[in-house]
Structure 1
Amino acid sequence: MGIQSNLRSLAIALVVTSSLFAVAGCHSGSTADSSASVLTDTKLVDQNGNSVELSSLKGKPLVVDFIYTSCPGPCLMETAKFANVALRLGSDLGSKVTLVSISVDPEHDGPKQLLNYSRQQGADEKGWYFLTGGPADIDQALAGFKLSREVEPDGSVGHLVNMMLIGPDGRLVREYNGEIVKAQDIVDDVKKTLNNG
């Protein structure tokens, strides 16, 4: 009985440990092995009211995050991190690399709200899209990234702290935990992607 109990405990510990490693690997900066494009044909709208089809952004590396303008904390931190990435990319932003911030609260974030947010955060940069659309369009876009929104009964929105580097072919290159990744690490990975592409 004691040996069985110990074996069961050991088996549970191994499952928990391997699950933790899998989660940590997935979010802290894992290299992707995706053969399909994550950029759907979904049409969204940018902060200037222009229609943008996600798949039309292929051809350059993209760094994508997921925000909403009424977010009390994590989104501001992620946007500040993206602003740091933009600063480090310099003239490569727009010409060689695109930043994309997709709202996960399309019910409240229209182009006007996204434009105001981008200006308040010092993020109104050429080559940086803030995208929104109808709720179904946002859900379809997120599904391409294998993500989904969480909307609570009171209308509040759950945070998505994922950041992703997408290659010029639209495939996922790397996924990051936006709360812990350093801006320079993203820039280094972008430069590697540019050199490989």
Structure 2
Amino acid sequence: MSIDDNLRSLAIILIVTSALFAAAGCHSGSTEEGAASVLTDTKLVDQNGNTISLESLKGKPMVVDFIYTSCPGPCLMETAKFANVALRLGNDLGSKVALVSISVDPEHDGPKQLLNYSHQQGADEKGWYFLTGGPADVDKALAGFKLSRQIEPDGSVGHLVDMMLVGPDGRLVREYNGEIVKAQDIVDDVKKTLNNG
């Protein structure tokens, strides 16, 4: 083999390898066919005191994040981002799409705290559920998303910056880093999910 042939072979290997990595990247955040629902039938309580399970919200896409009302910063940013998503969804929020914010501090966040938080953040929208429950119930709901709460030794709560788009069938469609994703990107993905639905 000449040097040119070796270089050509090496170039082909690099191109094929790059293509494989790029293809793998395209699937980031999406689920494989046959994946199970991430929604559990665990009973939680919304900001209005109504008992609700995530599984009962099947049938429409939902975007889920994880917050707590005493959070000093990241949760406020995520809630503001969700408020922007709600604004962009307009009348589709509630009728075609749900937003779900699950408290990761159920020891301190009851329905009253979540209702106050939703008012303070301008997030008291129809179709936007702020959910809490007993710690074991919240842990079970989070386990469906393959997440767990982190309680620090001083009793403070660790931040979960994950946001997730769940399809009408309850399967995970896309996972986002809540700190960097743009509201419009979430809305675009929701609309694609609605169109495919």
**TM-score > 0.5, shorter chain as reference:** yes
CA-CA distance at 1:54 after TM superposition: 1.2
C-alpha distance in 1 between matches for 2:41 and 2:52 = 9
Q: Report the residue type matching 1:141 in the other structure.
A: A
CA-CA distance at 1:30 after TM superposition: 2.3
TM-score when normalising by structure 2:
0.85
Aligned to 2:177: 177
C-alpha distance in 2 between matches for 1:151 and 1:181 = 25
Q: Is the CA contact 1:74–1:161 (under 8 Å) kept in the aligned structure 2?
A: yes
Aligned to 1:30: 29
C-alpha distance in 1 between matches for 2:121 and 2:95 = 22
For residues 79-107 of structure 1, the C-alpha deviation after alignment (integer angstroms, 9 at most, x for no partner) is 00000000000000000000000000000
CA-CA distance at 1:180 after TM superposition: 0.2
C-alpha distance in 1 between matches for 2:31 and 2:84 = 24
- Is it true that 1:143 corresponds to 2:105 in the alignment? no
Q: Report the residue type matching 1:32 in the other structure.
A: T
Q: Report the residue type matching 1:88 in the other structure.
A: R
Aligned to 2:155: 155
Secondary structure of the structure 1 residue equivalent to 2:64: strand
Aligned to 1:110: 110
Q: Is the CA contact 1:68–1:75 (under 8 Å) kept in the aligned structure 2?
A: yes
Q: Is the CA contact 1:33–1:172 (under 8 Å) kept in the aligned structure 2?
A: no
Q: Is the CA contact 1:99–1:128 (under 8 Å) kept in the aligned structure 2?
A: yes
For residues 111-167 of structure 1, the C-alpha deviation after alignment (integer angstroms, 9 at most, x for no partner) is 000000000000000000000000000000000000000001221000000000000
Q: Is the CA contact 1:106–1:138 (under 8 Å) kept in the aligned structure 2?
A: yes
Larger Rg: 2
C-alpha distance in 2 between matches for 1:119 and 1:143 = 28
For residues 47-72 of structure 1, the C-alpha deviation after alignment (integer angstroms, 9 at most, x for no partner) is 00000011101000000000000000
Q: Report the residue type matching 1:137 in the other structure.
A: D
Identify unmatched segments of 5+ residues in structure 1. Answer: 1-20
Aligned to 2:167: 167
Name the count of aligned residue pairs.
172
Cα RMSD over matched residues? 1.4
Q: Is the CA contact 1:32–1:175 (under 8 Å) kept in the aligned structure 2?
A: no
Instruction: Point out 4+ residue stretches in structure 1 off by more than 6 angstroms.
Output: none
CA-CA distance at 1:45 after TM superposition: 0.1
C-alpha distance in 1 between matches for 2:154 and 2:108 = 13
C-alpha distance in 1 between matches for 2:138 and 2:78 = 19
C-alpha distance in 2 between matches for 1:97 and 1:55 = 14
Secondary structure of the structure 2 residue equivalent to 1:31: coil
The alignment-based identity, stated in percent, is 88
Q: Is the CA contact 1:46–1:132 (under 8 Å) kept in the aligned structure 2?
A: yes
C-alpha distance in 1 between matches for 2:73 and 2:130 = 18
Aligned to 1:4: none
CA-CA distance at 1:31 after TM superposition: 2.2
Q: Report the residue type matching 1:97 in the other structure.
A: V
TM-score when normalising by structure 1:
0.85
Aligned to 2:129: 129
